[in-house]
Amino acid sequence: MVNITEKFAVSSVSDTSIPLLPSQFLEMVGVLRSLWSSTRNSFSSSASSISPKPCLLPPRASALARAFSAATAASDATSPSSALNPSRLRNVAVIAHVDHGKTTLMDRLLRQCGADIPHERAMDSISLERERGITIASKVTSIPWKEYELNMVDTPGHADFGGEVERVVGMVEGAILVVDAGEGPLAQTKFVLAKALKYGLRPILLLNKVDRPAVSEEMCNEVESLIFDLFANLGASEEQLDFPVLYASAKEGWASTTYTKDPPADARNMSRLLDAIISHVPPPTANLEAPFQMLVSMMERDFYLGRILTGRVSSGSIRVGDRVHGLRHKDSGVEKIEEGKVVKLMKKKGTHMALIDSAGAGDIVSMAGLASPSIGHTVANVEIMIALPTVELDPPTISMTFGVNDSPLAGRDGTHLTGGKIGDRLSAEAETNLAINVLPGLSESYEVQGRGELQLGILIENMRREGFELSVSPPKVMYKTENGQKLEPIEEVTIEVNEEHVGLVMEALSHRRAEIVDMGPVPGSVDRTRLSLTCPSRGLVGYRSVFSSDTRGTGFMHRAFLTYEKHRGPLGNVRKGVLVSMGYGTITAYALMSLEPRGTLFVNPGMETYDGMIVGEHSRDTDLDVNPVRNKELTNVRAASKDENVKLAPPRLMTLEEAIGYVASDELIEVTPKAIRLRKKYMDVNKRKSMSKRPKE
């Protein structure tokens, strides 16, 4: 019989012998893994036998441990070339017009490759993106397919966020151009395609939504020929004109190389598109032996890690713990910003961020450890003093002035009220969004330049949700002067409306200095007309809400920046006058009852008002001062009816975008976390009258 102490001695030897072999060795070498498992089995069987020989096992285990250590060292020495092989990478951007199905397509690709999608539009991680159904910021993720890794970049489709497309299209070697098979190429399709062709990308054309009943094979052929003409007009090369065409329904989750509305069951997936990416998109040209360089294309902040910089590794390889520094171009040459150590290396895989140990040239990764570099700067090895060329962005076209809220109701809702806090927040936004410029103005105000009112409206909405109170000026168009001639930004507008609304739309746009380029029926639909126009940016400010009401919500309008042209002269009468409050206090139903015939009201009884606040739109072209806080005179004569029986029409409560488009040059928007109010720039009625006599700019 075996002695109890002897048996425990054997158990202790086996327990201490197994941890001598680290678990990471098992992942590296398959042959050694099987050797180790057989050794462990023989060892465990010997440990349970009657006559164990514990003295023979430690030398064998230590020898095996030495073999594993040598294998690991060899594996570490060769890992950059094997694990980070650029030929197995594909960097692709998904570009399209707004609402043509980019984000839905990304959902299906992620699901095809095994990612766990928590909800629809998984790439839209910002709350405003999910609320409004649009993509605001570009996002990158990687998905595995066969033995390849695809770095996919989802881009916005709205013209106001074109800067997001411009800064990421240089990170990729290929692009998927998504076009709605029913609508064909539109204004923003032309913009994003021009950017892709400029960087030498060879797009893959994906005709989406072919499962719709109105879409036919003839329509798809017509759209394909229109896109070919668009390629040719934008100066595409012979290689770029030879683009593959796929037909897909991103909503149903399938893509096909031939036209079909109902593919067979085994083909109802995205395999055809993923295979087309592998075969058509070239791998990144990368040198792993060169020193490390990376151009920062995206940036975000983390509470624990600080600044997270995302970009494509241009050359060399990077590991956690490497010494790097940030560089930027200055007029005097290349300037060193900051030196530090790589604390974390991360890569977005599916919908989750994964930690990695190293990354090589051609890959798109995120790193933490530097606190100063931002978008457009270069991160490189400490011995390198060469900065990579930065991305060229189109200039901003409109500007708005952000200032401190100085109305009588200021400070009631918000927590960030001072000009210093507003300036810090705007500076932080300008760092992460290159399409926005921030310039200091007078008396704690800041001029913010951007691409359109939607882009600046998103910024204002984010700030008010963070607890800021602001006063915001109406948008101003940024003019240019060349050879003594005043130039203004002109936009290309595509409009689709029912025939009954064509007259209203054309009349409204004629007051806004628009010129019709083309007009014709919409293919595949009855009683629908498509208009192509060019219109000054200043004429389109605030037109979207007017367009929606004119067309009863049935029209589509898309716009994109076209060029700078000669100033087209003053606009026609595009807005009526306003009803301006000249009382301070709570608005009464009794007062509003007498104001209703004067125009459209913007306020409800019970709201607070002050002198200079706009409470409605006048039915005439002039402003009218009114008293919305007037109470009913009390007498000792009994009345048959009570004040509670006053019936008022529902007021026109403006959203932020409508307010931005509505205000005139002598007015401001008061933005707080709980309210959006319109007011006159000068609240005193006498000051307004004296200022109105001054000549306008």
pLDDT digits (tens, 9 = 90+) for 588-613: 888 898 898 888 999 998 889 999 99
What is the C-alpha to C-alpha distance for residues 179 and 99, in angstroms, rounded to an integer?
10
* Alpha carbons 326 and 337: distance in angstroms, whole number: 5
What pLDDT score was predicted for residue 614?
A: 92
C-alpha 294 chain-centroid distance = 22
Half-sphere exposure of 14 (CA within 13 A, CB side): 19
pTM of the model: 0.76
Quote the tokens at residue 340.
């530090």
3-state SS of the chain: helix, strand, coil percent to 5?
35, 30, 40
Distance between CA atoms of 679 and 400, rounded to whole angstroms?
Answer: 16
Read off the pLDDT of residues 128-159 as tens digits, 9 standing for 90 and up: 766 676 777 778 888 888 888 888 888 887 77
Q: What is the pLDDT of residues 14-29, one digit of tens each?
A: 343 334 344 443 344 3
Q: Are 228 and 179 in contact (CB under 8 A)?
A: no
Cα–Cα distance, 179 to 657 (Å, whole number): 27
CA-to-CA dists, residue 112 to 107, 184, 203, 205, 248, angstroms: 9, 27, 21, 20, 14
Residue type, 527: D
Please tell me the predicted confidence (pLDDT) of residue 79.
Answer: 39
Q: 366 with 306: CB under 8 angstroms?
A: no
Mean pLDDT estimate for the chain: 79
Angle, alpha carbons 241-247-253 (nearest 5°): 135
CA pair distance 220, 203, nearest whole angstrom: 17
Q: What are phi and psi of 26, to 5 degrees?
A: -65, -25
Q: Tell me how far CA of residue 625 lies from CA of 579, 679, 683, in angstroms.
A: 6, 12, 11
Higher model confidence: residue 8 or residue 557? 557
Average of per-residue pLDDT across 386-398: 81
State the pLDDT confidence band at 53, using cuts at 50, 70 and 90.
Answer: very low
Locus of tokens 């500007």: 399
Give CA–CA dist 656/453, Å, rounded: 10
The span from the CA of 643 to the CA of 82, in Å, is 82
> Do 309 and 324 form a contact (C-beta atoms < 8 A)?
no
* Model pLDDT, residue 57: 38
pLDDT digits (tens, 9 = 90+) for 209-261: 888 888 888 888 888 898 999 888 888 888 888 888 999 888 888 888 888 88
Reported confidence tier of residue 541, pLDDT bands at 50, 70, 90: confident
| pLDDT at residue 70 tops 80 | no
Q: What is the pLDDT of residue 549?
A: 84
Closest CA to 102 of 171, 164, 170: 164
The SS3 assignment for 69 reads helix
CA 542, 545, 550, 556 dihedral sign is: positive
Cα angle 126, 130, 132 (rounded to 5 degrees) comes to: 115
Of all residues in the chain, what percent carry a pLDDT higher than 90? 9
The least confident of 298-302, 424-428, 493-497, 594-598 is: 298-302
DSSP string, 382-417: TT---PPPPPP-PPP-EEEEEEE--STTTTSS-SB-
- Name every residue whose Cβ is closer than 8 Å to that of residue 28 and which is 6 or more positions away in sequence: 71, 72, 75
The sign of the CA dihedral 650, 652, 653, 655 is positive
**106 Cβ neighbours under 8 A, 6+ residues apart:** 94, 122, 123, 141, 152, 154
| Per-residue confidence band for 42, with pLDDT thresholds at 50, 70 and 90 | very low
Q: Decide if 526 contacts 154 (C-beta within 8 A).
A: no
Q: Kindly tell me the burial class for residue 503, based on how many C-beta atoms sit within 10 Å of its own C-beta (0-12, 13-18, 19 or more).
A: exposed
Question: Which whole number is the average pLDDT over 665-682?
Answer: 90
Tokens coding 344: 């974390």
Distance CA 432, CA 374 (A): 7
For residues 62 and 535, the model is more confident at 535
- pLDDT over 70, % of the chain: 84
**CA distances for 154 relative to 92, 101, 286, 322, 406, angstroms:** 9, 11, 23, 30, 41
pLDDT confidence of residue 695: 61
In the chain, count of helices (H) and strands (E)?
A: 19, 35
> Based on C-alpha coordinates, what's the Rg of the chain?
32
Q: Count CB neighbours of 163 within 10 A.
A: 21
Are residues 472 and 669 in contact, defined by beta-carbon separation less than 8 angstroms? yes
Three-state SS at 286: coil
Concatenated DSSP letters of 599-629: EEE---TT-EE-TTBEEEEESSSS-EEE-TT
pLDDT over 60 at 470, yes or no:
yes
Between CA 534 and CA 514 the distance in angstroms is: 6
Give SS3 for 435.
coil
For residue 54, the one-letter residue type is P
pLDDT for residue 54 is more than 80: no
pLDDT reading at 280 higher than 50: yes
Inter-residue contact 323 to 338 (CB < 8 Å) = no
Strands (E), 80-159: 89-96, 139-145, 148-154
Burial state string for 543-555 with b = 16 or more CB within 10 A and e = fewer than 16: bebbbeebbeeeb
Band of the pLDDT at 38, cuts 50, 70, 90? very low
Write the CB contacts of 22 (distance below 8 Å, at least 6 apart in sequence): 68
Could you tell me how many residues make up the chain? 697
670: pLDDT strictly greater than 90: yes
Map tokens 């990158």 to a residue.
140
Domains and CATH numbers, the chain: 86-280 (3.40.50.300), 293-381 (2.40.30.10), 481-566 (3.30.70.240)
Strands 599-601, 676-680: pairing is unpaired
What are residue 430's phi and psi, to 5 degrees? -65, -25
